[in-house]
Structure 1
Amino acid sequence: MQTAHQIERWIERFPLVRNFSASHLQIARGNVHFPVLESGAIAYELQGACANYLMCIDGRTRVFRMSETGREMLIYKVGAGGTCVLTTQCLLSGGGFPAQSVAEARTELAALPADTFRQLMRESDEFRDFVLDDYTKLLTAVFDLVEEVAFAPLEQRLARRLLVEADADGIVWKTHQQLASDVGSVREVVSRLLGEWADTGLVEIRRGQVQVMDRAGLAAGRLN
């Protein structure tokens, strides 16, 4: 059962809800629910059925595919204020998920059941425009990632990932294995690169984290 506070947080994170007509707002509020995923929890599984349109209020999930050899390939991540392009695709097509998703941190979601999603898509111009616009932007981001993995050198991909993941203090709270999964590589290669960068002062390696010491150097590609 949703609370007034959860509804307020949802509307604050997704202002389009305020633009719903009174009847559509009533439909949305009457059917939305707010699952919470702890870090490491599964959001959805490969080939699983899509039961809800997911909107991330807080936290972050990662969407990825796993190869037969156990190598993980990141497709994209969904953070606060974002939606999941594969959820949209599956609801529109009626198919199962072509990837899987897990929470990287404690994550609060707003979930609109499939029937509610389809009704709002038919009846609400505001909701339909939001979904399709967001879907287009996310698809563009996915293609950018595919292009990066296919054509950008590993050193460049790893540097970009460190800059994206670093917090205000320059700390990336990830293991070498997690970073390797993010950039489509293996732990041994990522560890070697980080070791080389540590020797030149670009980063500092700590247990379970990497400290970015020279953001400008990483951004400029001074990696050797």
Structure 2
Amino acid sequence: MSDGLSSACDPSARSWAEGLSRRYPILDRLSPVLVREFCRRARTVDIPAGAVAFDEDSPCTSLTFPFRGAIRVGRLAHTSREILLYRVRPGEICILTVSCLLGRTTYSARGLVEKDLAGIAIPADLFERLVAECGAFRAYIFELLGSRVTALMQLVEEVAFHRLDQRLAAILLRRFVETGATQLAVTHQDLADQVGSARETVSRVLESLENDGGITLARGRVALRSAAALRDVAGALASRERKMP
């Protein structure tokens, strides 16, 4: 095991190396040889919000470790509507990228930068070497793959077997829990993109949730009125969310 990225990298790279180690402690378990190679070949990545990080059918040549910002990964339908698959935030890596690198295939979805992205990227061949030569890193990657596949299976179940009002109620519950807030800065279009539906349809469902007493709508915002009312609508999907007051 190495002494860590920050001690192995050149002084000019230590600022990002320290931050990267805090968010990705698995990197400190690389061997000294792999750490030196990581420091030598890593490059900084800065992508502004609204830019496309990767697109469907584009080649996959590197893996990014973000330490600021967020990427939304979604699949476009022939109607140009997009369904959100997952988000990549600091401390996480894009499992679609991992899958493409391991399978040496092109991307099957699009990654859109939601918030200005800053991170460190390593080339495909170095990623393959980390997986091959470091058992801890390999286990970390496989664990991430497993958890993401489980989450995507849940998404397929929600889309196939649950009504739109149930899905929206569950999504709002999840957002309120994750943020710890009683008011969300989110538009009807944001939610429509997440569920892969038309904005007009989502607006009607949100108005129904408001009439049921679960939320209050304002321009660009959704406020929580009653978590219990949202859980009643979400039904079985609500059991996947943590308890709320």
TM-score, scaled to structure 1: 0.91
Distance in 1 of aligned mates of 2:115 and 2:153:
25
In the other structure, the counterpart of 1:20 is 30
In the other structure, the counterpart of 2:90 is 80
Is 1:55 aligned to residue 61 of structure 2? Answer: no
Structure 1 residues 104-144: Cα deviation after superposition (integer angstroms, max 9, x where no partner): 22232331211110111221112211111111111111111
Give the alignment of 1:147-158 within 5 angstroms. Answer: 147-158=157-168
Is 1:196 aligned to residue 208 of structure 2? Answer: yes
Q: Match for 1:89: what amino acid?
A: S
**1:169: Cα distance to partner?**
2.4
Is 1:180 aligned to residue 192 of structure 2? Answer: yes
Structure 1 residues 180-219: Cα deviation after superposition (integer angstroms, max 9, x where no partner): 1101221111101111222333111121221222223213
Number of positions where the alignment pairs a residue of Structure 1 with one of Structure 2: 223
Distance in 2 of aligned mates of 1:222 and 1:96:
36
Distance in 2 of aligned mates of 1:222 and 1:74:
19
CA contact (8 A) 1:174 1:208 kept: yes
CA contact (8 A) 1:53 1:113 kept: yes
Distance in 2 of aligned mates of 1:79 and 1:171:
21
SS at match of 1:90: helix
Give the alignment of 1:117-196 within 5 angstroms. Answer: 117-166=127-176, 167-196=179-208
In the other structure, the counterpart of 1:112 is 122
**1:25: Cα distance to partner?**
1.1
SS at match of 1:59: strand
CA contact (8 A) 1:161 1:183 kept: no
Distance in 2 of aligned mates of 1:216 and 1:30:
53
Q: Match for 1:181: what amino acid?
A: D
In the other structure, the counterpart of 1:213 is 225
Stretch moving more, 40-49 or 160-169: 160-169
Distance in 2 of aligned mates of 1:21 and 1:123:
9
Give the alignment of 1:27-106 within 5 angstroms. Answer: 27-106=37-116
SS at match of 2:189: helix
CA contact (8 A) 1:173 1:208 kept: yes
Which structure 1 segments of 5+ residues have no match? Answer: none
**1:222: Cα distance to partner?**
7.2
CA contact (8 A) 2:82 2:196 kept: yes
Q: Match for 2:150: what amino acid?
A: T
Q: Match for 2:223: what amino acid?
A: Q
Stretch moving more, 114-123 or 192-201: 192-201
Distance in 2 of aligned mates of 1:204 and 1:33:
45
Distance in 2 of aligned mates of 1:117 and 1:103:
22
CA contact (8 A) 2:45 2:119 kept: yes
TM-score, scaled to structure 2: 0.84
CA contact (8 A) 1:56 1:110 kept: yes
Distance in 1 of aligned mates of 2:224 and 2:36:
47
Alpha-carbon RMSD across the aligned residues, in angstroms, is 1.9
In the other structure, the counterpart of 2:7 is none
